[in-house]
Structure 1
Amino acid sequence: MRIGYYAHHHGSGHCRQADKLAALLPFGFRQQMTVFTSLPIDSYCFSTITDEQIVRLSAEDQLPEDVISGRAGEYWQPSSLHYSPVGNRHVQTRSWQLLEQIRQRQIDLMIIDVSVEVAMLCRTASVPYLYVRLAGERDDAPHLNAFAGALGLLAPYPRQLEAAVTPDWVRQKTLYLDFMPNKIDKLSTFPDFIDKLITLTTNGDIHKRLYSRLDGVNKSAKNNNHKDNNNKDHIVTVIKGYGGHDAIDAKLPELRCALPNALIVSLGPINDEVRDCVDIAAHVDDVSPFIAYSDLLLMACGLNGIAQAYNYATPLVVLPDERPHREQEVMAEALIEQGRALSWAQFITQTSNLSNQDTSSFLSINNDSISNETINNEKAALTDIQPSMAAQNFMDSIADYVSVKAWFQEWLLPQLGLRPEK
């Protein structure tokens, strides 16, 4: 089957998800996949999709000459749509682009990540589609209509992180693909990680602390004690994306007060007024070593970020961004309930209850069973991350079938345990 993938332009995460799924296809079938997006070309670089496989769509921003605005109120806004300006030439162009390219490229099945408007356009044009469900509480009429119009729903996260309020029929119609972490060829060693940190700063004192940390680990390894809990230079990494970082930056002074002896690394954008609260501020292409070898992570609850951190042993403090439909809040609540993460309030309570004890005391309490320095050897199952079997099985099924109808009836419906009325 020829697959079309609509990737929303808010952030790069939707294009990244398309890239991850495409990587699971055999090479020959991968070339038959088309990505539709209005994300600027310099905002994400695909690793498995060529430029010829990308359709750059017109923007959909509101224009002064629109006859009716995109959100015009109860008596002018269809209940099945979130945003539907009338007379908007950009929206008209992108709709024509979508339908014309679907026809020209002979797309058999669309995957929509995410847009109820594109879903309704496909359903009206009788184009089969699957709809990607993000985390959160998406029980509004437009989402439910898009869900109902789909052949099936895809959740790029584990079933156990599902929102409690999700209707039973939506759960049953969903294929849970589990997290799909970014592929890494080989995780660097802990010494390589320390060397990387040293290149990120010219501060000689920090260099000494990092070398001391490496020496401490080497001595501990010789004594068969892989974790040096008395070492005060624990590494705390703060990971921020480009979709919003102000909320986490605002916590950096409090983080420094809570863990005064830690070596704090900030990855991603950072506000100038809090730069002095961290020891290293940098931008890196690969956060995997930081996730694997840090003693503590602080991050928001974006889908791709959590997907990368979820299978590692590193303790996690989550500070979800405010997003529509409580997307990150719901993810954070589920992680906390599982015991996989601490909320910011829990973290502050635990550190304040230690009174005058130092960083190593807090991290010793939370890291008793974790040996991140030797994770390459003793935590191989955590670092040799394999693609989600659910996602792989799904993409294998796409490659196995030529007919959408046969795939729908013979593969998808048995997976869901549902059958539409005739």
Structure 2
Amino acid sequence: MTRPIGYFVHHQGRGHAERAAAIVNAMPQRPVTLFCARDDIFPPLGTHVRVQTIPSLFEAPADAAPALANVRTPTTLHCAPLGWGSITRAIATITQWFDTARPALFVTDVSAELAQLARIASIPCVSVLQHGDRDDAGHMAAYEAALGILAPYAPTLEQPGRPAWMLAKTHYAAGVGIDAATIGAPIEKAAARAALGLPASGEIVLVIAGGGGSGTPATPLTLGARAMPDAMWLTIGAVEREWHETMPGNLHHLGWVDCPATYIAAADRIVSSAGNTTVHMIAAAGRPWIVVPEWRYFDEQLWKARMLDAAGAAVMLDHWPAHGGAWAAAWARADALDLTRQRALVNRDAATDAASWLCTLADAAWAAPDVEILSLLPEQHA
């Protein structure tokens, strides 16, 4: 019997769903169940994949018990409120599936609590590792309990301070979740502009906001656009407007678009947040690039932006430019980037390699205990 794989997918933003879909679609011989609070955020999935919706683990239900709201949370947990019937139902759905499906692996992208739940339920787990200050007791318990760790970025972007035992069982999937066809063969700029109805000549600056926050502030962009009156500035994604901004005529807010990779290909320069999918799409294209991290739990985007800057792939700003001179200084640095360092951050085979690694872990975990098979497992922390 081929044991199935379970996969928890966080529903914030789009990156979790996009990389999960890419990986599970690359393992057509293995049944997969995706657990998520939303079933409408996934790209097309193979017939071997089903989505099991569960209540959100992070949004308070109407029946939450207010008297329990201030009960102290143990240091080994992050989001574990008491008296939420929605969490009770979600955990019951997952553990019942553990019992009936007897899965080979359970992947969490991301939840430290569910990684620990799988270990308690005697189910081998793989934890997805993201950037950020994640050396707290809750995260470290999840990583230590896991059979393996999946890092959806290039090893050159690994942040300092990870313990050796974590790195020993980490698989890097650089660029997983973006269209592999664009890696090594990006869309031509002229073709992208023609497809979007944009001018064939003239400079275009693209600003990309991620899907996990309230939006990129528009006011700093008005300053950047005014400082470059001969360039067209376009924004895609959510933009947060303010009453005191004075938008110049060369700045255009397009909102959410279905083809961000095409806009990236059409651009000459890019400003973005540091969301995982956004980072990989830009790196695949190779452009002068400014990264301004958005607020995220555990400083996830801050650390990713730091590592992009350290790798010479992008210019990180810790806050939005407040005047035209600051924009000019940032662009001078971005124009000097070696774009080959960006393209080295993505791997066309990231999804198939990650799928193969997961299936190898799954098969080895349940095989007869001979030395050859055990050698396939990552080194465990003693």
Q: Do the structures match in fold with TM over 0.5?
A: yes
Q: Measured at CA, do residues 150 and 407 of structure 1 come closer, stay the same or move farther in structure 2, by a change above 3 Å?
A: farther
- TM-fit CA distance, 1:47: 1.3
Alignment map for 1:184-199 (pairs within 5 Å): 185=181, 188-198=187-197
For residues 327 and 273 of structure 2, the distance between their equivalents in structure 1, rounded to whole angstroms, comes to 25
Aligned counterpart in structure 1 of residue 271 of structure 2, from 290, 295, 298: 298
Q: Which runs of 5+ in 2 are unaligned?
A: none
Alignment map for 1:65-214 (pairs within 5 Å): 65-66=64-65, 69=68, 72-73=71-72, 77-183=73-179, 185=181, 188-198=187-197, 210-211=199-200, 213=201
For residues 219 and 326 of structure 2, the distance between their equivalents in structure 1, rounded to whole angstroms, comes to 22
For residues 132 and 109 of structure 1, the distance between their equivalents in structure 2, rounded to whole angstroms, comes to 13
1:281 to 2:242 alignment: no
1:217 match: none
Q: Measured at CA, do residues 57 and 271 of structure 1 come closer, stay the same or move farther in structure 2, by a change above 3 Å?
A: same
Q: Which runs of 5+ in 1 are unaligned?
A: 199-206, 214-232, 371-378
User: Identity over the aligned pairs, expressed in percent?
Assistant: 23
Alignment map for 1:10-409 (pairs within 5 Å): 10-25=12-27, 27-29=28-30, 32-39=31-38, 41-42=39-40, 44-49=41-46, 53-60=50-57, 61-63=59-61, 65-66=64-65, 69=68, 72-73=71-72, 77-183=73-179, 185=181, 188-198=187-197, 210-211=199-200, 213=201, 233-273=202-242, 276-277=247-248, 278-282=250-254, 283-344=256-317, 352=325, 366=335, 387-389=348-350, 391-399=351-359, 402=363, 404-406=365-367
2:60 partner amino acid: Q
For residues 267 and 22 of structure 1, the distance between their equivalents in structure 2, rounded to whole angstroms, comes to 28
Deviations, residues 105-153 of structure 1 (Å, cap 9, x unaligned): 3321101111111112111111110111111110111101111111121
* Greater shift in the superposed pair: 137-146 or 404-413: 404-413
1:204 match: none
- TM-fit CA distance, 1:90: 1.3
- TM-fit CA distance, 1:94: 0.8
2:252 partner amino acid: I
Report if aligned partners of 1:137, 1:163 keep a CA contact under 8 Å in 2: no
For residues 55 and 2 of structure 1, the distance between their equivalents in structure 2, rounded to whole angstroms, comes to 14
2:6 match: 4
Q: Measured at CA, do residues 130 and 364 of structure 1 come closer, stay the same or move farther in structure 2, by a change above 3 Å?
A: closer
- TM-fit CA distance, 1:415: 6.6
Q: Measured at CA, do residues 28 and 394 of structure 1 come closer, stay the same or move farther in structure 2, by a change above 3 Å?
A: same
- TM-fit CA distance, 1:290: 2.3
How many residues are treated as equivalent by the alignment? 367
- TM-fit CA distance, 1:236: 0.4
2:312 partner amino acid: G
Report if aligned partners of 2:315, 2:333 keep a CA contact under 8 Å in 1: no
1:193 partner amino acid: A
For residues 319 and 56 of structure 1, the distance between their equivalents in structure 2, rounded to whole angstroms, comes to 33
Q: Measured at CA, do residues 67 and 279 of structure 1 come closer, stay the same or move farther in structure 2, by a change above 3 Å?
A: closer
- TM-fit CA distance, 1:251: 1.9
The RMSD of aligned alpha carbons is 3.6
Q: TM-score, normalised by structure 1?
A: 0.75
Task: Name the SS for the 1:130 alignment partner.
Answer: strand
Q: Measured at CA, do residues 117 and 349 of structure 1 come closer, stay the same or move farther in structure 2, by a change above 3 Å?
A: closer
Higher helix share: 1
Q: TM-score, normalised by structure 2?
A: 0.83
Task: Name the SS for the 2:239 alignment partner.
Answer: coil
